[in-house]
Chains A and B, each alone.
Chain A
Amino acid sequence: MNIQDVLVLTLQALIILYFVALNGTYTLFILLSLKEIKKYFYFVTKHDMQALLKSNYYRPLSIIVPAFNEESTIVTNVRALLSLKYPEYEVIVVNDGSTDGSLRRLVEKFRLVEIEKPIRLVLKHKKIRKVYLSLDYPNLMVVDKENGGKTDALNAGINAASFPLFCSMDADSILDKEGLLRTGRLFVDDKRVVAVGGIVRVLNGLEIEKGEITHIHAPKKSIELFQAVEYTRSFLSGRTSWNLFGSLLVLSGTYAVFRKDMVMDVGGYRKTVGEDMDLVVRLHKHCLENEIPYKVLFVPDPVCHTQVPQDLKSLLKQRSRWHRGLLQSLAHSKEMFGRRKYGSVGTFGFPYFFFIEGLGPSVEFLGYASLVPLYFLGLLNWQFVFLFFLVAILWAMWINIGSILLDNILYKRYKSLKDIMKLCLFGLLEMFGYRQMIAATRFVATFGYRNSTWGHPRRQKIAVVSLKKHTSYGKIHIDLKP
């Protein structure tokens, strides 16, 4: 056997192994999630939520919203946050040295006044310039600081927070009215809980009235539809299953709730582009090393809706950042890899994230790229390639339709059959270009994983329409216009 044969065989084995491992785990996750989520719905009913609102069964919570140049979305977002159902909470917007009119708009719309609030400097961050309090909403505080990045802003927010729990939220996201109750109650049910995340959905295409989602439609643009399918797949089945194995390493930075004391113990957020995963991994490590009984949980409830990139450039930037963040977090806590001391996180979660999520895109990209040299070397069996690609399409289709079905069984999210058909179609189409493009982006990002540049995505305006019919602050239609 010559070197060429060895190389070709190794490559084939690697690609098939990766293909089976990736699709196999997703298939398994869908089946496991169905059981797990059905169980969850028996536990949390509408009456429980109503009872929670009236009882003392909660811990007060601070919502931290880091904002950098979010002029177009910040007011709508903060309004929605101020109308949430939770007995006791505060909203802390950290203006991270915005150069647009974010702060001005906040000051005008919420009648902010400057105060001299003493803030403990437990976590390090850039200098705070001013602190504002709203005359209309006593639970709204705005911290204006020098630009230091998202993690820096979050650390400033944690220092300013008054309550034992805090929730990090992106400024371009809308939280479900009962989202805080659904996540917050877990900290009360079980004292070992240190962090909780929830399902994040695509905001594009929704209608919102008084901070509440009134109509759910599938997004209109293709790029948004691809992402809607991805979000359904990864949140619904992926994270629910990791939760089941007790190896949840990622809680979306878009929305997650943490115990403040634990986060302070690990030194708050670290300057990285994947701050969400990084913090969760360090919490696991800290608790396991110090033998602190703990739980990192995931609520299979659609608690938060976020705006997804509407143009290709922003999408690719975002995916590159996510992948670099994943690799940076894994590299920072590399001593956990495969170690029994770190329980299922070290022996199962960490290797999976490294081999499948971290190195997977490289294998996938190599698979596509190798077609060219193999063709020229005359080693390509077109019939086999065609059949293999067909299997890949059908398996991906199975996973996508399975996820959409799961979503439909459990959440009855989309009212119209047309929307569901649209998602199924884009679940099929993603195999023809979209998936390859994302794999290539992540492959490139693998080599530049040390790069910590954030890259600010282009924000879309959340337009207020139909004010004739709806008074107060109107009916908001997420009609995304650049």
Chain B
Amino acid sequence: MKVELLERILPPQTIRDVLDYVLISLLVTVLLLFFILIFHKLSIEFTERRRRRLRARYQSYMRKHLLGRDGTIVRPRSKLGHEVLSALCIEKLQTASEDDREEIRQYIRGSFIAEYYRKMAESSSMPKRFHAIKRLGNFSLDELKQYFKDSLLEEKTDEVKGAIVWAMSQIANDSTLDWITLVLSTEISLSSKYNENVYSNLIHSFKRKGIIVSFLAFMERLVADQSFPLILKRDIIEACGSSGLNEASRQIVDLFFNSGGDPSIKIASMRALGKLECPEYGGVVTSALFHDDWRVRAQAAQAASACSQDAIPHLRNLLYDDYYYVRINAARSLTKLGEEGLSLLTAEMKSDDPFVRDTARFMLRK
């Protein structure tokens, strides 16, 4: 009875028809895919050859232009042409001297590729907008500041907003510094490393423009402003350290003392001071060796090698600290503190504490 019902719902002929239909559809699409695959493979080879030819041509034009032999600027006509020329310009910008960089920017302006990417940045596709903004950021054109600011107002995705902030950091000056800080502290939440990267770009941009004093004034404001987000403060300190901004070491020390009970600022300050190698603040680093938080002690132990010879006896004590990282960092610093540090570490090879003994041996490669 039930089999009959099933056969009435799905008669064998219907199943057969469905299978036939599926078979034919699959066969057609498989053949179609196969031909697309072959056609695509051949077209890739053609595009690659074209890409190479275009690159060689643009390279030659650009060389002549930079050498002042030919003032003509060739404007790309195709999508591929824009991609090839923009990639070439970015490569040149990354390696060129400051004078040549300005010439390359002139070339970018003359070839109107920035306009092409501005148009692409209006696309409804987020990846396309992201790509366009990254390209524009890489061009480092000062006149795009207002454009980036306007774009941020219209942008809805965090990915592209992050790219806009990054692009802005490449051309930063006084006015954009506050804008970037405002966006990072209120609009979007990016990783600490991203923030650090943005502020590092910004510091390099200020250095190139000879306006680093403005950045130091900003750091002063940062010390005084207790309402400023702590996480961002920490990232800015990290950026100062990784960009080698020695001029900011006093402000970093001030931030170390003004950060209240939050250890993250103290840790970042110690890391930055270690990278900046400031012997004048050796006392601050030495005092941090006694901090209650082991993470601050660990960073201070690492920074001590770059900042202070006076830390040697304290570093010896830290070899017996409760925390593994503090011990290792102290031993590592002692190896960098000249004869005095090395002889102290050599003596510790006979320590009763097996961990200290092993650490000392390891550091001295004995």
Contacts and interface: CB of A to CB of B under 8 A. Distances in A.
Contacts of A48: 134
B16 A417 contact: no
A20 B159 CA distance: 37
B358 A116 contact: yes
Nearest to A162: B328
B15 A401 contact: no
A408 interface: yes
A39 interface: yes
Nearest to B358: A118
A117 B362 contact: yes
A50 B134 CA distance: 14
Interface string B15-31: 11001101100110110
A333 B196 CA distance: 38
Interface in B31-51: 33-34, 36-38, 40-42, 44, 48
Contacts of A408: 37, 40-41, 44
A404 interface: yes
A47 B87 contact: yes
Nearest to B128: A42
B196 A56 contact: yes
Chain B CB within 10 A, most for which of A48, A383, A388, A397: A397
Contact of A401 (B30, B48, B126): B30
B365 interface: yes
A120 interface: yes
Interface string B90-117: 1100100000000000000000000000
A459 B90 CA distance: 44
Given A56-B196, A190-B191, A191-B192, A116 B361 contact: yes
B16 A401 contact: no
A47 B362 contact: no
B41 A420 contact: yes
Contacts of B324: 120
A191 B196 CA distance: 13
Nearest to A424: B34
Given A42-B127, A48-B134, A391 B36 contact: no
B365 A394 contact: no
Nearest to A392: B26
B131 A394 contact: no
Contact of A1 (B2, B159, B200): B2
A398 B26 contact: yes
A244 interface: no
A312 interface: no
Q: Give the interface size bracket for B toward A.
A: 35 or more
Given A1-B2, A47-B138, A409 B87 contact: no
Interface string A170-183: 00000000000000
Contacts of B6: 9
B44 A43 contact: no
Contact of B33 (A57, A133, A402): A402
A388 B22 CA distance: 10
A56 B191 contact: no
A39 to B, nearest CB: 4
Interface string A51-81: 1000111110000000000000000000000
A22 B263 CA distance: 52
A47 B200 contact: no
A104 interface: no
A480 interface: no
Interface string A25-61: 0000000000000110011011110110001111100
A58 B200 CA distance: 13
B36 A405 contact: yes
Contacts of A113: 365
B193 interface: yes
B242 interface: yes
Nearest to A191: B191
B347 to A, nearest CB: 17
Q: Give the interface size bracket for A toward B.
A: 35 or more
Given A47-B87, A56-B197, A391-B23, A118 B37 contact: no
A38 B131 CA distance: 12
A46 B358 contact: no
A133 B19 CA distance: 65
A420 B37 contact: yes
B242 A56 contact: yes
Given A5-B3, A55-B197, A391-B22, A398 B41 contact: no
B256 interface: no
A405 B94 CA distance: 35
Contacts of A58: 193
A57 B197 contact: yes
Nearest to A188: B193
Interface string B117-144: 0000000001110110010001000000
A42 B15 CA distance: 45
A408 B33 CA distance: 12
Chain A CB within 10 A, most for which of B26, B37, B94, B196: B37
Contacts of B147: none
Interface in B175-211: 190-194, 196-197, 200
Contacts of B215: none
A231 interface: no
A59 B193 contact: yes
Interface in B52-89: 87
B9 interface: no
Contacts of A420: 37-38, 41
Interface in B335-366: 355, 358-359, 361-362, 365-366
B37 to A, nearest CB: 5
A284 B232 CA distance: 29
B196 A397 contact: no
Interface string B158-183: 01000000000000000000000000
Nearest to B328: A118
A117 B27 CA distance: 63
A42 B130 contact: yes
A48 B42 CA distance: 29
B192 A405 contact: no
B1 interface: yes
A412 interface: yes
Contacts of B87: 46-47
Contact of B130 (A43, A417, A424): A43
Interface of A: 1, 5, 9, 38-39, 42-43, 45-48, 50-51, 55-59, 113, 115-118, 120, 133, 188-191, 383-384, 387-388, 390-391, 394-395, 397-398, 401-402, 404-405, 408-409, 412, 417, 420, 424
Given A42-B130, A391-B22, 10 more contacts: A43-B127, A47-B87, A50-B94, A55-B200, A118-B328, A383-B16, A387-B20, A409-B40, A417-B42, A424-B37
Interface of B: 1-3, 6, 15-16, 19-20, 22-23, 26-27, 29-30, 33-34, 36-38, 40-42, 44, 48, 87, 90-91, 94, 126-128, 130-131, 134, 138, 159, 190-194, 196-197, 200, 242, 324, 328, 355, 358-359, 361-362, 365-366
27 contacts: A1-B3, A5-B3, A38-B127, A43-B130, A47-B87, A48-B134, A56-B200, A57-B194, A57-B196, A57-B197, A59-B193, A116-B358, A116-B361, A190-B191, A191-B191, A384-B16, A387-B20, A397-B26, A401-B30, A401-B33, A401-B34, A402-B33, A409-B40, A412-B44, A412-B48, A417-B42, A424-B37
6 smallest A-B Cβ distances: which pairs? A42-B127, A394-B26, A188-B193, A56-B242, A42-B131, A39-B127
